[in-house]
Amino acid sequence: MSSPTNRRVCIVGAGAIGCTLAARLGAGGQPVSMLARGQTLAALRANGVRLSDLDGSHHSPVNASDSCAELGEQDLIFICTKAPALADLLPTLGPLIGPQTVMVPVVNGVPWWYFHGLPGRFAERQVRAVDPDGALSAALDLQRILGCVVFITAETEAPGAARSDNPHLMILGEPDGQLSERLHWVRALVEQAGIEARASEHIRDPLWTKIIANLSSNPLSVVTGATLEQLYGRADLRGVTAKIIQETLLIAAAYGARITFDPETFMRLGADMGAVRTSMLQDYGHGRPLELAAIGDAVVELAGYQGLSMPVTQDILTLARFRGEQPTTH
C-alpha cells in the first residue's frame, strides 16, 4: 500500500459529484485519476477539473482516461456514477483493483451492499430493485466496500466543471460497523481536501437520512419541475413531501435506524437550500435515465420485507416514472 501522502486515487464518473470531489482532492494536493469518456474526457484532458464552491474557484489537473488498464491499479476508488450505469460499469473495473484497493460507492438511494455485514434475518439479502440478478454483488467483492453517504449538492456547468453553493459533507463507515484502519485513512484523505468528513460506526443511520432527503425531493421534482426551495417551502408541495418523509421514517425505524432530525426542521433546512434543482430533475432535463430504482423502488422493496406499505410514495414514483418516459422538450 502506498504511504498516506502518496495514495493512488481514482474517481470513476465525472459528473457533478465526481468533479466536485476531484477538484477538492486536487486542491488539497492529492493527485487524482479520473475515468471518463466523450466530451468530458476531452475537457478534462484539455482543462483539468474545475469547481466553483463556497470556498471559491478550484482548478486541478487530473490524469483522465477512458481505459482502466491505462490508469492502472489504485489504492482508493470513488464510484461516482449514477445507479443505472453500475451493472455495465463494475465488471470493467478489474484493471483498477489491486489486493488492498478500497472501493467507495458514492451513489444515491439504497446501495446494493445495504444488507452486507448485517446480522440477523436479513443477512446478505440482495436488494433486487438495484441488483435484480446479483450481478453487482458478483462483479465486486463486497469486502472491498467502504460505505459512504454524501451530502453535496452540485450541478454540472460544462463538461469537467461543476458548481456547488452549499457546504460539503461526507460520512464514511464500514458496512459491519468496524472502525477500521482504512476507514480512518480514507476519512483523513477526504478531510484534507477541505470536505467535512466523519467516520461512523452506524453508516446506515446517515444513509437513511440521505434516503429520506432523496425520496422526498427527487421524484416529486420530476413530476412538478420544482426546486428544493419550492418542494420544502411551498404550502401545497410541503404537504406531499411531509407524507413521503413520514412513510420513509417508518421504514427506517423498522430497520433500526436512528434518525436524529425533526421533520419540520428538515423541511425548513431543505427550503433554505434555495433554488437548487435535484439531481433527478437535472437528469430528466438532459434526457438521462432516472435513478428511480435506487432512490424509490428499493425503499418500497425494503418496506415490503417488513410488511409495510408506502402508498403516497408509490404514487409519486409512478408519476415520475411516467414523466421520465416522455420525451423532453427544450
Enzyme catalytic residues: 210
Nearest-angstrom CA–CA distance, 293 and 138: 19
Report residue 175: phi and psi, to 5°.
Answer: -55, -30
Q: How far is CA 242 from CA 10, 226, 258, in A?
A: 38, 15, 19
- In the DSSP assignment, the letter for residue 145 is B
CA distances from 246 to 100, 221, 320 (A): 41, 18, 19
Interatomic CA distance for residues 137 and 121, integer angstroms: 19
CA distance 69 to 176: 31
In the structure grid, which three cell numbers stand for residue 235, read together?
404550502
**Residue 116 neighbours by CB under 8 Å, 6+ apart:** 124, 142, 145, 175, 176
Task: Judge whether 144 and 179 are in contact, CB under 8 Å.
Answer: no
As a whole number of angstroms, the distance between CA 318 and CA 296 comes to 10
